[in-house]
Homo-oligomer: A and B are copies of this chain.
């Protein structure tokens, strides 16, 4: 077998065999396939797609390119959630204590933020002392003790994905569904999961802005997860505005702790609702509950009883963070002193929000990364005070930007102001959960 023959076959629209895909991916990992051959193949896959069989084989080959974790000693079902990413999407921090308190076990391998979306690891680091670089044995111990653990990806997990991702970024082949699916599912499966819920965002702050595209991705993710023996379900959920009020790192952790403590507002309720729904689906997939109704009730119960907050507190302590943040949330790294009000330029209703623009504005102000190597200021934030459908008068506040730098803060406030479209008629309400894909 030669790499160029495999490239040619995909170029001509042929279906690659399992052996051909294994040969190619193992060459990617070992370096035997040159980078210029990999990128020609990536473009051929981008333009010609993959069949279900190819998709499974690619995902499996990427999974087997590295270490596969195994938590068989922990006698609970292993379950996780993946989100395709959005603005203000912080459900991971609620879902993990929810499902752990309900008897499942969530070994969560997370990433850093890049572009307009944040990353769970960055958020967690705004809890003083919190470690996201646990060794595998530390990770396993925390998981056993608390029912969930949250950590960064190690170099041993799916190394083929790291190489492919770097090349995709440089060759405009990021957005191909087969490549996205293989990247996500191979990494998730490497954590030894039994079941997985997938939150596919759709709308102005999502990677997939169009519903049909989101649907295709959701189907491919669920199908591939199931084909690899991980019971999977995908939800298509709204990302036409920030999820909840907080966009930033400290501020998102703060919002989560408030929600875990039962402090819910109109603006933050969607975060809780979506977290409960996803966590409930995870319980059903994990076979802890037999119906979605009983699963929802169980999650609400662990929330209202404070069991989930207690689970979170244990995890923070086990991962070397300051557990007092659960009682005194102001112990989270604070916001900046300087703040910048975003005013509505006119009276009317919020009809549309460019959520991606809000994400980019906060990233550029230092709250996220424009480039992989950027440092993050966890205090930079935007707190939204309006949601789509809300009425507003000229000069009233849309929200507040926090930034230590005058120019950065002002610039972000101007960008965010322009991201809100104020119209004359109240728009129809947006459904938070749009579709369930089995």
Contact = CB atoms under 8 A, between A and B. Distances in A.
Contact of A170 (B34, B42, B171, B173): B34
Interface in A1-59: 3-5, 7-8, 11, 34-44, 46-48
B36 A172 contact: no
Contacts of A4: 169-172
A238 to B, nearest CB: 27
Given A39-B36, A39-B39, A8 B172 contact: yes
A100 to B, nearest CB: 41
Contact of A40 (B3, B8, B34, B39): B39
A436 interface: no
Contact of A167 (B11, B36, B170): B36
Interface residues of A, number: 26
Given A35-B36, A36-B35, A40-B42, A172 B11 contact: yes
Nearest to A12: B172
Contacts of A43: 7, 11, 39-41, 43-44, 47
B47 A171 contact: no
A324 to B, nearest CB: 46
A41 B40 CA distance: 8
Given A35-B35, A48-B47, A172 B42 contact: no
A152 B22 CA distance: 42
A293 to B, nearest CB: 45
A296 to B, nearest CB: 42
Contacts of A171: 4, 7, 36-37, 40
Contacts of A173: 11, 40
Interface in A168-203: 169-173
Contacts of A48: 47
Contacts of A47: 11, 43-44, 47-48
Contacts of A3: 170
Nearest to A11: B172
Given A4-B171, A170-B4, A171-B7, A37 B34 contact: no
Interface in A126-174: 167, 169-173
A240 to B, nearest CB: 24
Contacts of A35: 34-36
Nearest to A44: B43
A43 to B, nearest CB: 4
A371 to B, nearest CB: 13
A46 B170 contact: no
A4 B43 CA distance: 12
A169 to B, nearest CB: 8
A274 B167 CA distance: 49
A35 B34 CA distance: 10
Contacts of A39: 36-37, 39-40, 43
A43 B47 CA distance: 9
Interface centre among A34, A36, A44, A173 (most CB of B within 10 A): A36
8 contacts: A5-B172, A36-B36, A36-B171, A37-B170, A39-B43, A40-B43, A40-B171, A41-B43
Top 10 A-B residue pairs of the complex, sorted by shortest distance between their CB atoms:
A40-B171, A8-B172, A43-B43, A36-B39, A35-B36, A39-B40, A7-B172, A40-B43, A4-B172, A47-B47
Interface of A: 3-5, 7-8, 11, 34-44, 46-48, 167, 169-173
Given A5-B172, A11-B47, A35-B36, 11 more contacts: A4-B172, A7-B171, A11-B43, A11-B46, A11-B172, A36-B36, A40-B40, A40-B43, A40-B173, A41-B43, A47-B47
